[in-house]
Amino acid sequence: MITLCIFVGKMWLSTCMLSESKRERERMEGLALSGQKVGKVTIKSDCDVFHQLWKEQQHEIPSLTSNINTCHNLDGEVGCVGYILSWNYILDGKDYVAKTQIIDIDEEKNSVTYKVIGGDLQELYKTFVSNVRVETDGSDNIVTWTIDYEKLSPSVPDPDALLDFAIKTTKDIETHKLQT
């Protein structure tokens, strides 16, 4: 297309280049709405303890961290795909609510994946999926948080504060587990 435009003249060439630039800019803006954030924390606690906590003992989490006020079962069978929970949590000094559904459990990878299906995050993100995975690497146990998201608009911030929240919550739980 651009080669053909060169033969037609400078005016047409400018229009083609502008058109190509506009398409590239729109493509980049679309890409910027979606992303993935990953954070890791090394823990001393047993991998299975953390995996079970996030898989089927979520109601205990508020007693292990000051970040989460409550966690309630709304629907489904505890520890199974489809299980729906309501979380009341504090982020940057403000109270928030999230309704999540477990969409995947991988016992081999000690992994649980949650999808946000209601609450405050839906005012910012079209999709918000978080995965917590616990694995052993040599003598270290590592908790990996992965957040996949799609923002509703370019003005919505990336969920860096939410990843920091997950890391801090993990550290709080680790501290509490080591004290007991």
What is the pLDDT tens value at each position of the chain, 180 positions in all? Answer: 333 343 444 444 434 444 455 556 555 555 579 999 999 999 998 889 899 999 999 999 999 999 999 999 999 999 999 999 999 999 999 999 999 999 999 999 999 999 999 999 999 999 999 999 999 988 889 999 999 999 999 999 999 999 999 999 999 999 987 666
User: Would you give the end-to-end CA distance of the chain in angstroms?
Assistant: 69
The domain over range 34-179 is classified in CATH as 3.30.530.20: yes
Q: In the numeric block, which tokens belong to residue 9?
A: 């003249």
Does residue 170 sit in helix, strand or coil?
helix
What CA–CA distance (Å, rounded) separates 134 from 145?
Answer: 9
Q: In the numeric block, which tokens belong to residue 167?
A: 């890391």
CA distances (Å), origin 136, targets 46, 48, 150: 9, 10, 30
Q: Helix axis angle, 47-56 relative to 160-179, nearest 10°?
A: 120
pLDDT at 27: 53
Within the chain, strands assigned E span 34-43, 68-75, 84-91, 94-106, 111-119, 125-137, 140-151
Q: Which amino acid is it at 36?
A: Q
Give me the residue spans of the domains in the chain.
Answer: 34-179
Radius of gyration for the chain, computed over Cα atoms and rounded to the nearest angstrom: 22
What CA–CA distance (Å, rounded) separates 101 from 82?
Answer: 6
Q: Which residues contact 100 (CB under 8 A, 6 or more apart)?
A: 84, 85, 87, 114, 115, 116, 117
